[in-house]
């Protein structure tokens, strides 16, 4: 074992181990904090999506209540005057459609038959009880209903209000449906979230017989779903796949995925109708560059700190061992070696030695001077060689 080589290696190894442990612990703590921050972001995105859908349901219900309280509308439905009912409601529907995304307005009889679709006046008389549980519930309970429905023209956010005639007898009900598009567009404009609404393909094709054919295009298919509306389809295609949608089973799921080197947090929320049957999924994404970047920078800074610490400690170790230990030991070793070989030992200046080596240097000086005295005495008492002049 050589002190010059092995002692620094042992010291630096121990220091490196200690610094690495501290760095790992600090990095793990910081990563846990960033995970908590991201969990909060996921929860925020999910709550905003759910809040806005709930708000759209409330708006649809409030507008349906206003129309249900209109005398002309109530009387036209009670007397089954389709032409009059259309005349009363069509201008209002056009205004609400253009300004607020109202997509559907329908009047239904108490036996669940479509009496008038204001958005599609030529289609009426079909039985809604087989695929519209919200209509059935409203007619059975005579209570207001709101929720998500899959209709003949596609999915919508619904508000349903029963209507009574002048005598208080059930006259039917009114249903208003808001489009999902404006809701998702609002999320992007207000919060910067990109989102997509996916609808299950099988019930969409079976029920939505009057849906826009463009919605059924093959390019919209993602697993068992079809993209119905997206604020940024090019981005969302890279973040959500069929396997991801298949994992959504009632409860929201969340994950992080990169797109073109940018990390995005993705939240997916399942949507169901009044009977609890799945209709579709809304996925929303948020840029996570700030938290992921902070984690990366923290890791780099910790590694850099460890390396700088090792360099500083290495310098301190080499200076200390070389200046305070090796130089004095080498000087004393050289002197002791000379004395051992019977040669005069060099004088050693102990100035700057540590206290322990100063004492050793003093003992060396005592030995050196004793050796010099002995050599001088021996030289003084030795007879001259024979034949000397």
Tens of pLDDT, residues 191-228: 999 999 999 999 999 999 999 999 999 999 999 999 99
pLDDT band at residue 157 using 50, 70 and 90 as cut-offs:
very high
Instruction: Give pLDDT, residue 230.
Output: 96
The answer to whether 46 and 58 have CB atoms below 8 angstroms apart is no
Note the pLDDT of residue 6. Answer: 61
Taking the chain, what is the end-to-end CA distance rounded to the nearest angstrom? 57
Residues 6 or more apart in contact with residue 338 via CB below 8 angstroms:
344, 345, 346
- Residue 111: Cβ within 10 Å count: 11
Q: CA triplet 194, 160, 281: central angle to 5 degrees?
A: 25
Listing DSSP states for 128-145 in one string gives -TTT-HHHHHHHHH-S-E
Average pLDDT over residues 345-370: 74
The whole-angstrom separation of Cα 75 and Cα 85 is 9
- Written as six digits, the tokens of 334 are 């050289």
- The helix/strand/coil state of 283 is strand
- Measured distance CA(170)–CA(166) in Å, rounded: 10
| Range 262-275 average pLDDT | 93
Among candidates 311, 318, 309, which has minimal Cα distance to 20? Answer: 309
Q: If one looks up domain 69-178 in CATH, what number appears? A: 3.30.450.20
The residues with which 283 forms a beta bridge, in sequence order, are: 196, 268
- Calculate mean pLDDT across residues 91-96: 92
% of the chain surpassing 90 pLDDT: 58
pLDDT-derived band at 139, boundaries 50, 70, 90: very high
Return the pLDDT at 39: 83
CA angle 197-200-204, nearest 5°? 100
pTM over 0.85: no
CB 134 within 8 A of CB 279: no
Please write down the HEC assignment for all residues of 1-56.
Answer: CCHHHHHHHHHHHHHHHHHHHHHHHHHHHHHHHHHHHHHHHHHHHHHHHHHHHHHH
pLDDT at 389: 43
Report the range of poorest mean pLDDT among 138-152, 251-265, 351-365: 351-365
Mean pLDDT, the chain, integer: 85
Q: Residue 361 — pLDDT band, cuts 50, 70, 90?
A: confident
pLDDT higher for 32 or 217? Answer: 217
Please give the average per-residue pLDDT across 125-151, as a whole number: 96
Mean pLDDT within 38-66: 92
Mean predicted confidence (pLDDT) in 146-152? 95
CB 58 within 8 A of CB 158: no
Q: Over range 45-58, report the average pLDDT.
A: 94
- Mean pLDDT value across residues 334-362: 73
What is the three-class DSSP state of 268? strand
| 134 has a pLDDT exceeding 60 | yes
Query: Is it the case that residue 233 has pLDDT exceeding 70?
Result: yes
Q: pLDDT-based confidence at 385, cuts 50/70/90?
A: low
What integer pLDDT is reported at residue 89 of this predicted model? 96
Q: How far apart are CA 239 and CA 227, in angstroms?
A: 13
Burial of 164 (0-12, 13-18, 19+ CB in 10 A): middle
Is residue 381 within a helix (H) or strand (E), and if so which, with residue range? helix 355-381
Domain with CATH 3.30.450.20 in the chain: 69-178
Q: Which residues contact 174 (CB under 8 A, 6 or more apart)?
A: 64, 67, 68, 73, 77, 105, 106, 107, 108, 160, 161, 163
Of residues 279, 286, 185, the one with CA closest to residue 229: 185
Which residue in 131, 89, 91, 67 sits closest to 279, CA to CA? 131
d(CA 37, CA 194): 20
Higher pLDDT: 111 or 375? It is 111
CATH class given for the domain over 181-287: alpha beta
């Amino acid at each position: 074992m050589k002190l010059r080589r092995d002692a620094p290696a042992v010291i630096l190894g121990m220091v490196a181990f200690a610094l690495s442990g501290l760095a790992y612990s600090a990095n793990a703590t910081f990563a846990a904090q960033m995970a908590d921050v991201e969990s909060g972001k996921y929860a925020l995105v999910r709550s905003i999506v759910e809040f806005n859908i709930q708000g759209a349901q409330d708006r649809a219900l409030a507008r349906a209540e206003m129309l249900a309280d209109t005398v002309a509308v109530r009387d036209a439905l009670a007397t089954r005057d389709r032409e009059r009912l259309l005349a009363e409601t069509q201008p209002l529907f056009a205004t609400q459609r253009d300004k607020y995304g109202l997509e559907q307005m329908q009047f239904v009889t108490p036996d669940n038959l479509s009496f008038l679709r204001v958005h599609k006046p030529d289609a009426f008389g079909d039985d809604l009880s087989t695929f519209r549980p919200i209509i059935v519930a409203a007619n059975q309970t005579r209570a207001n209903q709101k929720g998500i429905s899959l209709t003949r023209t596609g999915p919508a956010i619904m508000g349903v209000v029963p209507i009574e005639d002048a005598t208080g007898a059930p006259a039917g009900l009114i249903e208003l449906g808001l489009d999902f598009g404006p809701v998702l567009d609002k999320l992007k404009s207000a919060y910067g979230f990109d989102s997509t609404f996916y609808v299950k393909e099988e019930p969409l094709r079976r029920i939505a017989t009057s849906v826009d054919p463009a919605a059924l295009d093959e390019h919209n298919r993602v697993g068992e779903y079809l993209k119905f509306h997206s604020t940024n389809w090019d981005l969302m295609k890279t973040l959500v796949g069929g396997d991801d949608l298949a994992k959504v089973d009632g409860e929201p799921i969340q994950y992080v995925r990169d797109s073109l080197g940018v990390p995005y947090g993705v939240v997916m929320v399942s949507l169901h109708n009044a009977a609890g049957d799945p209709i579709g999924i809304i996925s929303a994404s948020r840029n996570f560059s700030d938290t992921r970047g902070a984690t990366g920078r923290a890791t780099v800074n910790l590694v850099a700190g460890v390396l700088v610490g090792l360099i500083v400690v290495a310098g301190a170790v080499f200076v200390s061992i070389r200046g305070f230990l090796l130089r004095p030991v080498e000087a004393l070793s050289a002197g002791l070696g000379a004395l051992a070989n019977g040669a005069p030992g060099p004088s050693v200046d102990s100035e700057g030695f540590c206290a322990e080596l100063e004492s050793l240097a003093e003992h060396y000086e005592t030995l050196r001077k004793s050796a010099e005295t002995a050599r001088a005495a021996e030289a003084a008492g030795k007879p001259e060689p024979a034949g000397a002049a």
